[in-house]
A and B are shown apart, each in its own frame.
Chain A
Amino acid sequence: GESVGLHLPTLSVQEGDNSIINCAYSNSASDYFIWYKQESGKGPQFIIDIRSNMDKRQGQRVTVLLNKTVKHLSLQIAATQPGDSAVYFCAESLASGGSYIPTFGRGTSLIVHP
């Protein structure tokens, strides 16, 4: 079946730096994308989403970029903080049966050094 993958399984940054987490998705028909953050011992936490009719969306300290031509998604975190340390998942989804069911990749571990 279709799958979502990540280029870098682990990303280490210094506190205050900007972080960029990349993701390649495989289903060109996917039209809704989500980034989740998962801290140890917790469930995934919604960060930001973007629809396929957009190429950029900004939140608080986070920006998601979507390049449909190369099926690439990225999450940018500005002024990374130690509390940002977690595993980040991108998920692609396609409307089906009245719902969007996200397909997750393996995740990227972000380590922020103080």
Chain B
Amino acid sequence: GAGVSQSPSNKVTEKGKDVELRCDPISGHTALYWYRQRLGQGLEFLIYFQGNSAPDKSGLPSDRFSAERTGESVSTLTIQRTQQEDSAVYLCASSLVAGVYGYTFGSGTRLTVV
């Protein structure tokens, strides 16, 4: 596609439920990143995929968070047993080669845990 597409754009879920967030990167982009942006704050790195290499999961805040990517296409971020502190905008970005040309971000998924 022309840009990075994320779905849903908004998600309200009850505390304790699992949620799945989806990211469609730009076609041909081998690197894919997930970030979290809490209200009024900067972006926190969560996880990074580069081609078929093992992902860098060093930013995942707890074992309730996991992510998968199929080849060089769609990625899903899963949050199990959601907590109120998980409320944030989850941003996905992709780049042609690991960051050489900068990232292109999607518009994000706004997650609200009630």
Partners in one complex: no
